[in-house]
Structure 1
Amino acid sequence: MKEKVTAVFDIGKTNKKFFLFDRDFQEVYREYTRFDTIEDEDGHPTEDLGRLKNWLKGVFDRILDAKQYDIVSINFSTYGASLVHLDENGEVLTPLYNYTKPLPQEIVNSFYDKYGPEVDFAAATGSPSAGMLNSGMQLYWLKYAKPEVFQKIKYSLHLPQYISYIFTGIPVSEHTSIGCHTALWDYDKKDYHQWVYQEEIYKKLPVIVSTETSFNMNYNGKRINIGAGIHDSSAALLPYIRSIRKKFILVSTGTWSIALNPFSEQDLTKADITKNCINYMRINGKAVKASRLFLGNEYKEQVKVLSQHFKVPSDYHKTIGFDHDIYCEIVKDFEYMFSWVGIQDKNMPATTRIPYDKFEHAYHQLMVELVLLQVDCIKMISGNDAIEKLYIDGGFSDNEVYIQLLSHYLRDMSLNTTDSSLGSALGAALCISDTKLNSKFLKKNYALKKHVPFIIQ
């Protein structure tokens, strides 16, 4: 007898993954691939949408024919800040413009001349000015820089909803994609911002449905519930929200380290905006106060410099565990020594200074400085909330020095790490299920570990 499963496509910038989960949300199958990027008309790297679509269809059709699995539902999680523009025939009109593509400054200036001041606008929308990362700005750019293309757009779909559209043919919008620093949503009004109506952008955006929506459809002769898709950061948060009863902060680490407070009741202030705070959105439309730190990227760049300086193998840093004595030496007469590549910080010196003769000491110095930045991010989004629980997932959950230092500097919080390689995929599966989770779910599915701060001697 075939095993009933939920399928999830989890589409990242680098890895494209496919998962199957059983009724207890245990992973029973996975596969993944990577694609080379292609270029848009300006030579900027971008997602190969045609190849992605062929892979999605190929994998799903193959699994549908598999003898051991009976797919009853499917959902999709993808990175955000990306729009796919369709014409009246449902054909893709433009490349998937990469959120790293720069916007012409005159377009940005004209927008804020109309709808600024910039800080006020950012506070209302939870979206500090960030070019194409504010995906709504892409539509404004198309309207004025490429009006002939703009006029042909029937629907603009966020990437998770485009992946769903490939399978359903039904164009929709949903909250988690609209709410992730797109500059489209007014969090106070709980509606699109006035500029979306004034510029008639809203006519290009399909009807908003609940993130938990699924369409019961006949797909290749089989009835399947097909989800509307979900933004990956909001999906990664969902297993925690559904299984933890107390207030918590989740820090999802990787190239970007994103600290998420789903319980903040305060609107973003102008001060928050100047400190790089943004809003994400829960599946119920509620704001998630967040702060971003380019942690993984900075770590990679600085470790490269240290490895060359001390003439050690490039992966030597992975062997370093936390050393209490080295830490005490460093903080005794503490000075900031690293000049960051991708982070702006008032404490950093103009140039990096490495006075140590051992890699281990320099590495601990680096980690102390990075963790102090991380602590600021966490405290910033905590605000006046008394939050006792802190969860760390992603790449840095395995870095002993990072975890030990974080638990030390945030001693009043209970710090737990989780192995969330499933992360957003599991959240996407849960999203289209009404299953209630108990408090042991994370321990069972995420290898939950509690960490105790070290003793200061």
Structure 2
Amino acid sequence: MSQTVAVLDIGKTNVKLALFDHDRLLWEKSAPNRVLPGPHYPHEDVESAWSFFLDALREAARTHRISAIVPTAHGAAGALIGESELAAPVMDYEFTGVDEIETDYARLRPPFTASLSPKLPAGLNLGRQLAYQKWCCPDLFAGAKHFVGYPQYWSWRLSGVAASEVTTIGAHTDLWTPRQGQVSSLVKALGVDHLLPPLRRAFDPLGPVRPEIAIGCGLAPETPVFCGIHDSNASLLPYLVSRQAPFTVLSTGTWAILMSVGLSLDQLDPRDDTLANVDVLGRPVACGRFMGGREYAMIAGGGGNADIDALERIIASGAMALPCFSGQGGPFATAKGVVRGDVAAQDRAALATLYCALISDLMLTRMGATTGDLIVEGTFARNLSYCRTLGALRPTQRVFAAEDAAGTARGAAMLAQWPPSYRIAEPGLVDPISIAGLDSYRKTWTAAVVGIPR
């Protein structure tokens, strides 16, 4: 039986339990992540996720000795917790009902220059969710003892210890000032400072797993539970210890998050959905975001990845996709996406690939990320045409593909031994190629989007 780290990976689309021996994936199991319609507001189905994790831990522990547990989750969710259970449902960040408080909330939220957190749609700013819960659900709010980020909700549920953590509270929440490394003025203005538990590091063990969980899942009673981390920051961890700045990691899934290490924060512009996240050591990292995976699926309409011939057919035809198809994220979130020209069904994936590569290229340029390697991890890393198109658009930068579906979980597993003593696997270098007509196509596409309101 091997010693393993168990990672609870809570994404927008799926929940997963993955086991690692150092950086070697040993075992994994996943299930869809559901959103419930109410009451109060649409919210995460935490009980189904909890049942899944307990069952998966029980199954995994039959064949592996689990030596540590680390949670990672998306950054646009937080939990109001009472003494022993949730005080309020964990809001789904796509809930647009929070818009009703915007006038009052806008008076309190700190300026972008302080928070480096742009105004985002629906509940993507965690501070807006918290304000809505306080003002519109006062009975629920009154029962709260703590407010924690979503990764820390799971570490609390596993260990009983509540903690705050910088990668989560610093992820476009309006609640943190990255340059100063402290909570923002919004925390006091909302009167929620008493709800924030002590700050712990993502790689801190909070305590052993609760005794009843250890018994029920067949875990050793001393199994430590670590504080946990924002999922995009988990994807960044392997490169923080294996590369010299500057470099950019493009972490892709439902969202595409562009994280540029060693880049000045001066070119960040909230109109572009560029911002600063905070890495595991508390340092601000220039970032850009768009809903790459969802937009790709909406444009492609299903099917696999495109080949280069299909890309060149789309380019030669002049057909193009113009943002935005998801209704949130990126420089053109308020625009309605359109497809210009006729595109055969078998070439829709090529159109989607060009669109996502062009958005990535545009955002990297606006952020000032014009030097250093580009490492694509997650869904798009398995799309060779996307990686090659990005390389063709940015010929002075090398593109690497970390063809690893477990990249977020693999990074999170590193927290159980931070910094890691083992060697970090290198992503594969993508061979640069020339794509006929791409430069002219980019100029036409850029001219078409430059007038779209931001």
Give the alignment's TM-score, normalised by structure 1.
0.84
Which AA in structure 1 matches 2:18?
F
Kindly provide the amino acid, as one letter, of the partner of residue 430 in structure 2. Answer: K
Q: How does 1:2-401 map to 2 (within 5 A)?
A: 2-22=1-21, 24-42=22-40, 44-64=41-61, 66=62, 68-87=63-82, 89-115=83-109, 121-130=111-120, 131-217=122-208, 219=211, 220=214, 222-267=221-266, 269=268, 272-304=269-301, 315=303, 318=305, 320-322=307-309, 326=313, 329=316, 338=322, 340-342=324-326, 345=332, 352-355=339-342, 364=350, 367-381=353-367, 383=368, 387-401=371-385
Contact 2:72/2:151, CA 8 A, preserved across alignment? yes
Cα distance 1:337–1:186, how it changes in 2: closer, same or farther (>3 A)?
Answer: closer
> Contact (CA 8 Å) 1:135, 1:182: kept in 2 or not?
yes
Can you give the 5+ residue segments of structure 1 that lack an aligned partner in the other structure? 305-313
Tell me the residue number matched to 1:451. Answer: 431
Amino acid at match of 1:140: A
Q: Which residue of 1 aligns with 2:451?
A: none
Q: Distance in 2 between matches of 1:160 and 1:38?
A: 19
Q: CA deviation at 1:409?
A: 1.0
Residue matched to 2:452: none
Q: 3-state SS of the aligned residue for 2:305?
A: helix
8 Å contact kept, 1:5–1:73: yes
More deviation, 205-214/393-402: 393-402
CA distance in 2 between counterparts of 1:255 and 1:29 reads 23
Q: Is the Cα–Cα contact under 8 Å of residues 262 and 282 in structure 1 kept in the other structure?
A: no
Amino acid at match of 2:2: E
> Quick one: distance in 2 between partners of 1:53 and 1:47?
11
Checking the alignment, whether the CA contact within 8 Å between 2:187 and 2:193 is kept in structure 1 is: yes
Q: Please tell me whether Structure 1 or Structure 2 has the larger radius of gyration of its CA atoms.
A: 1
Distance, in Å, in 2 between the alignment partners of 1:174 and 1:350 is 36
The answer on whether the counterparts of 2:161 and 2:207 sit within 8 Å (CA) in structure 1 is no
For residues 49 and 309 of structure 2, the distance between their equivalents in structure 1, rounded to whole angstroms, comes to 42
Alpha-carbon distance, 1:243 to partner: 1.6
1:375 CA displacement: 0.4
For 1:112-157, what per-residue CA distance to the aligned partner results, in whole angstroms no more than 9, with x for missing partners? Answer: 23446xxxx1332122122311112222222222223222211112
Give me the whole-angstrom Cα distance separating, in 2, the residues matched to 1:160 and 1:345.
29
Q: Aligned partners of 1:163 and 1:239: how far apart in 2?
A: 23
Q: Secondary structure at the match of 2:223?
A: strand
- Give the TM-score normalised by structure 2: 0.84
Aligned residues of 1:336 and 1:349 also touching (Cα < 8 A): no
Q: Report the CA distance between 1:386 and its aligned residue.
A: 5.8
CA RMSD of superposed structures (Å): 2.9
- From 397, 400, 406, the equivalent of 1:422 is 406
Does the 8 Å CA contact 2:300/2:351 hold for their aligned counterparts? Answer: no
**Cα distance in structure 2, aligned partners of 1:354 and 1:324:** 14
2:147, 2:135 → 1: CA distance?
16
CA contact (8 A) 2:251 2:377 kept: yes
Q: CA deviation at 1:200?
A: 2.0
Select 1:442's aligned residue among 422, 425, 430: 425
- Give the match's secondary structure for 1:429: helix
- Tell me how far 1:328 sits from its aligned partner: 6.8
C-alpha contact 2:308 2:435 (8 A) present in aligned 1: no
Q: Structure 1 residues 400, 426: CA separation in 2 closer, same or farther (over 3 Å shift)? A: closer
| 1:41 counterpart letter in structure 2 | P
Q: How many residues align?
A: 424
Write the letter of the residue equivalent to 2:36: I
Distance 1:449 1:203, change over 3 A: same
Whether the aligned pair in 1 keeps the contact of 2:245 and 2:262 (CA below 8 Å) is no
Identity of aligned residues (%): 22
Consecutive unaligned residues of structure 2, counting only runs of 5 or more, are 215-219, 438-454
